[in-house]
């Protein structure tokens, strides 16, 4: 093999890339190091970050003093149920718009399209009044219901369904396949990539949702991670070690899932972003 000389351009590129990558992870590495420093011990010099004492007491402390495991569970539960509902409800509606022609088609479709322009942040007050009147503040329902009828998801799927070959439907119709069966037996299995993309996008969105849970949830046992952590950490202003341990605990599941499904997640995000 010919030994290729490394070009100066390549060296510069590596230098820049490694520098940026370090800049990007340094705060996360610091978070992990500090989380293992005994509470109250000095983190005042760079050397102290890397030298003992280290201990896992902060982790025990967080697990004992805050329902973090419950918050992780709440987040997982809410995001999972939301995702399932979005996929089911949106694909049903998308199929109706893709295959059906019925009175009211245009008006219903345009009313839903208009919803694309409404930011969730613009309806916080009436949504709060509605859930209070329903007696559903501080509930999973409050966290799930407002984010399941998403015009974005419906339109994304409709576009995908529109692109499926027409012959398939015609053949199925001749074989006497009914509308519902057509959706579940033909369309959905062929749309796995679009459903996966929308599912990942929805799950991430629900996982990271902040402002509405922040308003509608005040009971610590119904909190999700984005609400629970600030609630807990606000008591430890002067100490960095305990909040960092809490941050590590709630980030680990997300990072592990991300590492396992990295390819699918990145594909799902770019598919939803570009097609939507």
Partner 1 sequence: MNKTMKWKQKSMAYMPYYVLLLPFVSTYILFMLYPLIQGFIVSFYDWEILGEKAYVGLKNYIDLFHDPVFYSSLWHTILFVLLSVPLLVVVGLGLAMIIHQPLKGQIIFRLIFFIPTVLTVSVVASVWSAVLGSYGGMANTIFRMFGASQDILWLNNPTLAWISVIVVTLWWTVGFNMILYLAGLQDIPDELYEAARIDGANGWQSFIHITVPSLRRITLLVTFLQVVASFKIFSQVYLVTTGGPAGSTRTIIQYIYEVGFKKYEFGPSSAMSYIFFFVLLVVSMIQFRISKERS
Site stretch for partner 1 (CB under 8 A), options 38-46, 50-58, 162-170, 191-199: 38-46
Question: Positive or negative, the Cα torsion across 173, 157, 119, 138?
Answer: positive
State phi, psi for 43 to the nearest 5 degrees: -125, 35
257-276 positions binding partner 1, by CB under 8 A = 258-259, 262, 265-266, 269-270, 273-274
How far out from the chain centre does Cα 56 lie?
29
If one asks whether residue 146 binds partner 1 (CB under 8 A), the answer comes out as yes
Calculate the dihedral angle through the C-alpha atoms of 180, 186, 187, 192, rounding to the nearest 10 degrees: 130
Among 63, 108, 136, 177, binds partner 1 (CB under 8 A): 108
CA dist 268 and 229 (Å) reads 28
Among 66, 188, 217, 244, binds partner 1 (CB under 8 A): 244
Q: How far is the CB of 60 from partner 1 (least distance, A)?
A: 19
Residue 100, CA distances (Å) to 42, 103, 105, 165 in order: 67, 10, 8, 15
52-71 positions binding partner 1, by CB under 8 A = none
- Contact in structure between 70 and 221 (CB atoms under 8 Å): yes
Site stretch for partner 1 (CB under 8 A), options 28-36, 51-59, 166-174, 187-195: 28-36
Q: Which is nearer to partner 1, 60 or 180 (CB)?
A: 180
125-144 positions binding partner 1, by CB under 8 A = 125-130
Among 11, 12, 15, 26, binds partner 1 (CB under 8 A): 26
# residues near partner 1 by CB under 8 A = 93
CA dist 6 and 11 (Å) reads 7
Structure tokens at 58: 């902060």
Q: Which is nearer to partner 1, 166 or 237 (CB)?
A: 237
Among 36, 76, 83, 151, binds partner 1 (CB under 8 A): 151
- Contact in structure between 191 and 98 (CB atoms under 8 Å): no
CA dist 155 and 8 (Å) reads 48
Mark residues 198-237: x for contact with partner 1 by CB under 8 A, - for none: ------x--xx-xx--xx---------xxxxxx--x----
């Amino acid at each position: 093999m010919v030994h290729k000389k490394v070009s100066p351009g390549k060296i510069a590129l590596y230098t820049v890339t490694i520098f940026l990558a370090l800049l990007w992870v340094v705060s996360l590495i610091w978070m992990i190091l500090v989380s293992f420093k005994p509470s109250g011990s000095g983190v005042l010099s760079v050397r102290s970050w890397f030298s003992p004492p280290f201990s896992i007491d902060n982790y025990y402390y967080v697990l004992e003093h805050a329902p973090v495991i419950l918050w992780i569970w709440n987040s997982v539960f809410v995001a999972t149920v939301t995702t399932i509902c979005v996929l089911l409800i949106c694909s049903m509606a998308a199929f109706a718009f893709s295959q059906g022609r019925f009175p009211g088609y245009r008006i219903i479709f345009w009313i839903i399209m208009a919803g694309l322009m409404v930011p969730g942040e613009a309806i916080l007050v009436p949504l709060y009044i509605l859930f209070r009147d329903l007696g559903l503040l501080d509930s999973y329902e409050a966290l799930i219901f407002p984010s399941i009828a998403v015009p974005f998801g419906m339109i994304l799927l409709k576009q995908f369904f529109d692109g499926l070959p027409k012959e398939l439907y015609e053949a199925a119709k001749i074989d006497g396949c009914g509308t519902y069966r057509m959706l579940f037996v033909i369309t959905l299995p062929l749309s796995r990539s679009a459903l996966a993309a929308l599912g990942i996008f929805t799950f991430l969105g629900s996982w990271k949702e902040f402002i509405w849970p922040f308003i509608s949830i005040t009971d610590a046992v119904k909190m999700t991670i984005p609400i629970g952590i600030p609630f807990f950490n606000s008591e430890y202003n002067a100490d960095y070690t305990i909040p960092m341990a809490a941050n590590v605990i709630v980030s680990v599941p997300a990072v592990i899932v991300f590492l396992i499904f990295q390819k699918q997640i990145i594909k799902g995000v770019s598919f939803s972003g570009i097609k939507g």
